[in-house]
Amino acid sequence: MTNPVSYETEGEIALIRIDNPPVNAASQAVRAGIEAAMTRFAEGPEKIAVLYAAGRTFIAGADITEFGKPPQDPGLPQVCDMLEAQEKPLVCVIHGTALGGGLEVALGCHYRVMLKSARVGLPETLLGILPGAGGTQRLPRLIGLMPAAEIITSARQVPAAEAEALGIVDRLSEDEPRAAGLAYARDLLAQGAGPRRIGEMPNPAVDEAALGDLRKKVARANPGQIAQLTALDAAVRGAPMTLPDGLKEERRLFMTLMDSPQRGALIHAFFGERKVVQLPELKGVKPRALSQIGIIGGGTMGGGIAVACLLSGLSVVLIERDGEAVAKARKGIEKTLEGSVKRGKLKAEKRDAILSDKLLTTDDYASLSDADLIIEAVFESMEVKKEVFAKLDAVAKPGAVLASNTSYLDVDEIAAATSRPGDVLGLHFFSPAHVMRLLEIVDADKTAPEVLATGFALAKALKKVPVRAGVCDGFIGNRILRVFRLAADHMILEGASPFQIDRALEGFGFAMGPYAVADLAGIDIGYMTRQRLRPTKDPQERWGDWADKLYEMGRLGRKTGRGFYIYDEETPKGRPDPEVEEIIAAERAQKGITSRDFTDDEIVERYMAAMINEAARVVGEGIAARPLDVDMVFLFGYGFPRWRGGPMYHADQVGLDRVLATIHQAAKTDAWFWQPAPLLEKLAAEGKGFASLNG
């Protein structure tokens, strides 16, 4: 194996280059190579050394192939300590990104120069751990406790200009890395500069008031998670210590997080996001070209999809029914882009260029003749969608991909409205489409492999997390959603209140409970779904009518000021409405139901058991390819707490036997609803978990 770390000299300067593509991860070979280079530098005649990297980035983090394996020497903390201990000055050049261990390596060096396009950060808390190679100790000593703690707990990436202003780096450069390092090294030699170790800098001051405010902010931003506050503790506890003692405390806290269940869940989420795009049936399949996107419908969804495409550099032709609707759709897109400008996410000149060069809004279907992929985003009606696809069949060029943004409807039936069903697939975006990362890609019966691959290529261009789904009512997410929402409604019929259910599930880690979500989305949405399904409802299925009564009363949620909750100036985020409980109590009495109390734990167990059980059916039927696909759907589309890994991962942690026990207990009062999924029963009987099916 070629050594990924090379050593050369230019006069009195040693040039140490890391070349471990694609992202120069801090693998064991890289760590050993740096250690050997430092030994050679210490023993050699060179007066200063430059550590830099080849390729598109400096060290972008740890080597993910080593995750879960026994650590191999030298460890990264040992390497960083060795860098700092050098008796001759050591310059680090940062380009691309220096994240996690990459930044910790840079902090071990004595001087830092950064290319103006580069970014740095310590994102370890996203994986349920903390920076464990000196990041929580060296960064506070370098730039102060509060700025360092904010960077560590937020896991954000710091651009070059801010990094220089904070003092993370000493200078910026527009040269390529080797030249930038040589120039700085020559300046330092001319100045007679010696080593400048962060460990010898003054201990950072602790502002207790500011620290208390930050602690509250971090807790609010990361409810239920432990890594962020533990990382903050490491920085604070190390502040008055010597660096060696601070590093010991950092390591101790690091190991507590390594043993935490949250770390395993977050690692699962990290790998799942990467693995979900790896489908055996698409191996070697080339997607079709993507340059111009057509969109039918400029409402909330169509406009959001248009913005997502425009911000990704794609051209968009958006069709509405008449001139007035066209103008309204364009105005909505302009407003969304203006919001991006105000938040500093988009430059005004870039916004203007997008609107003038990349967006065409019209009511003329003929304008779609050059579109590579056309997304229908009209009203959720089979008749309307089939009418649109018949029109598209007449105007779309041969080979154009035709996609329906449907949440529930049968994509096979939609495809049958065209003469080219092989070109049709479903693209279920989540609202707001330019923000939400999940994209369910619905693989219809006749969808061609290259068309499915094109859906995944679009997701990549839009920086979304794509999950392949089969055809059924609601696909993966909404099909499962309907079942666990029914489980919640059944608990209300039996005696729980919607407010207790919301509270219990927020305690589990959801940002909002199902009834608060219903108010946010609009109670009319759920009403229309229930009306659509009512004709096919099994007579044995229990069905609560209280939400329909709220709809009939004009109480549609936040947009009308009342739904399950009351929204006003006093409580803009909502407060429980006693009248809702009266409506529910009246329905229980009408149906002869004697209510009982539920504990919060029982609510969570039932809700999760219903979710897991239906998810097992979805996987067993092939609607979802693997359990991890279900996890990614719920992590990125339904607010499932990332630190719990997703419903299938959570089921494995709880134990499938326990999930089955919950189902059997609930079946005593409703055997029709609580039928164990065959896959769940099979895995439990074999003593296996869902992870065994992820491949």
Q: Which has the closest alpha carbon to 611: 668, 665, 677, 669? A: 677
User: Coil, strand or helix: which one is 90?
Assistant: strand
Starting at the earlier edge strand, list the strands of the sheet with 97-99: 97-99, 119-121, 157-159
User: Of these residues, 84, 320, 440, 614, which one is catalytic?
Assistant: 440
To which H or E segment does residue 173 belong? strand 171-173
Give the strand pairing for 424-429 and 438-442: antiparallel
User: In terms of C-beta density within 10 A (0-12 exposed, 13-18 middle, 19 or more buried), how is residue 599 classed?
Assistant: exposed
Name the CA radius of gyration of the chain, rounded: 28
167-194 burial, b at 16+ Cβ within 10 Å, e below that, comes to: ebbbebbebebbebbbbbbeebeeeeee
Give the containing element (helix H, strand E) for 179.
Answer: helix 177-191
Options 110, 428, 434, 490, the catalytic residue: 428
The Cα 674–Cα 629 span in angstroms is 23
CA atoms within 13 A on the CB side of 488: 28
Task: Report the SS3 class of residue 356.
Answer: helix
At position 86, the amino acid (one-letter code) is: Q
Q: Which amino acid is at 481?
A: L
- Are the C-beta atoms of 626 and 695 separated by less than 8 Å? yes
Question: Are residues 426 and 454 in contact, defined by beta-carbon separation less than 8 angstroms?
Answer: no
Helices (H), 356-432: 382-395, 411-415
Backbone phi, psi, residue 65, to 5°: -70, -15
Does the annotation count 428 as an active-site position? Answer: yes
Cis, bond preceding 74 (omega within 30 deg of 0): yes
Residues 6 or more apart from 307 whose CB is under 8 A from it?
333, 336, 337, 433, 434
Helices 135-143 and 243-258: angle between axes, nearest 10 degrees: 130
Residue in the structure block whose two tokens are 């009266």: 582
CA distances to 275, 533, 542, 544, 567 from 547, in Å:
39, 15, 14, 7, 17
* DSSP 8-state code for residue 419: S
173 noted as active-site residue: no
Phi and psi, residue 543, nearest 5°: -145, 120
Please, are residues 297 and 320 in contact by the beta-carbon 8 Å criterion? Answer: yes
Residue matched to tokens 């406790």: 145
C-alpha to C-alpha distance for 461 and 510, rounded to whole angstroms: 29
**Active-site residue, selected from the candidate residues 407, 497, 613, 694:** 407
Per-position DSSP letters for 299-354, written without gaps between them: SHHHHHHHHHHHHTT-EEEEE-SSHHHHHHHHHHHHHHHHHHHHTTSS-HHHHHHI
- Residue 481 near residue 434 (C-beta atoms within 8 A): no
440 is catalytic: yes
CA 278 to chain centre: 17
Task: Return d(Cα 298, Cα 376) in angstroms, integer.
Answer: 10
Q: Is 373 helix (H, G, I), strand (E, B) or coil?
A: strand
Q: Is 24 a catalytic residue?
A: no
Catalytic choice (24, 404, 478, 613): 478
Rounded to 10 degrees, the C-alpha dihedral 431/432/436/442 comes to: 40
Contact present, 135 and 104 (Cβ < 8 Å): yes
Q: Evaluate whether 245 touches 111 at the Cβ level (below 8 Å).
A: no
Q: Which residues are catalytic?
A: 407, 428, 440, 478
